[in-house]
Structures are given as C-alpha cells and as structure tokens.
Structure 1
Amino acid sequence: MPRRDLDDSRETGTVKWFNTSKGFGFISRDIGDDIFVHFRAIRGEGHRVLVEGQRVEFSVMQRDKGLQAEDVIVALPGQR
C-alpha cells in the first residue's frame, strides 16, 4: 500500500466518532476536512481506541483510498 507524508508537521483535531467493534472512525481536523482513522494508526499498546470528543495529534498520509490519520496520539490536557 503506497504511503506518502503530505507534510512533516503534525496536525490536531477532535475525534468525531470511533466504532470500537470495527476499529475505525473519523477525526475533525482543526484545519481541513474530516479524516479517516484506523485503530492501527493509534499509538499505544493493547486495545487501541479513541473516544468521541477526545483531542488528538496526528500525521496525515495519502493512501489508496484518500487521506488517513497516522501516528495518532491523544493530546494531554493543556496541550494544543
């Protein structure tokens, strides 16, 4: 699957929704359109999930099916 970083900088956004049983959802970017996120893109160990309304930081990658969030981390309170 081809991957290409669109930018070296990271973006921030808010989790719009995330289906824990299917392992994917969408993030509302602070700049730009909503972006797809898959559980494998979430940094961490064990069962990786996101919660609606959670603030996150991520990189944007161009994939076969469009833009996707990668290397997603949950922003700590007080960050961005």
Structure 2
Amino acid sequence: MSIRHQGTIKWFSEDKGFGFITPQEGPDLFIHTNSFESRSFRGPNEGQLVSYQLIVGPKGFEAGQVRER
C-alpha cells in the first residue's frame, strides 16, 4: 500500500492544466490535470485540502493520484 500525503492547493490553472500543491512538509509539488483520480474533480480551488501520492516526474517529485479531502 502506498503512503498518502496531505496538502493544500496553492494554485491551479484550468487553462494551463497544471498548478502546485503545498504539502504539510517540504517544497511545493507540481500537479497536472491528469493527476486527479476522479475525472469529476476539476478546477480545484486555492486553499482546498487534498491527499496525494508522491511520484517521480520528468523534473523530480510531483503529486499523483490526487483526491479531495
């Protein structure tokens, strides 16, 4: 079972299809529109609480399998 982490949406642009999560610990994490587990979870709001798994992307760690909390 993979560890789920918690954080807050720092900002997200639906037009650009990406944004950033501020985790409880560590630097901000990139989040892509395809990172959301639910296709109905689009356009998260700034300050929204989420849970996610850490994945390794092309430029380092990023958030994957993101869920609303």
TM over 0.5: yes
Gaps of 5+ in 2: none
SS at match of 2:6: strand
In the TM superposition, residue 47 of structure 1 has moved relative to its aligned partner by: 6.8
Q: Deviations over 1:17-70 (max 9, x none)?
A: 001111100000001110000010011125722110000000001122111100
Aligned match for 2:65, one of 60, 68, 71? 71
SS at match of 1:52: coil
Counterpart in the other structure of 1:52: 46
**TM-score, scaled to structure 1:** 0.78
Report sequence identity in percent: 37
Task: Give the number of the structure whose alpha-carbon radius of gyration is greater.
Answer: 1
Q: Distance in 1 between matches of 2:41 and 2:56?
A: 25
Task: Name whichever structure is richer in strand by fraction.
Answer: 2
Please tell me the residue identity of whatever aligns with 2:57: R
Gaps of 5+ in 1: 1-7, 76-80
Residue correspondences, number: 69
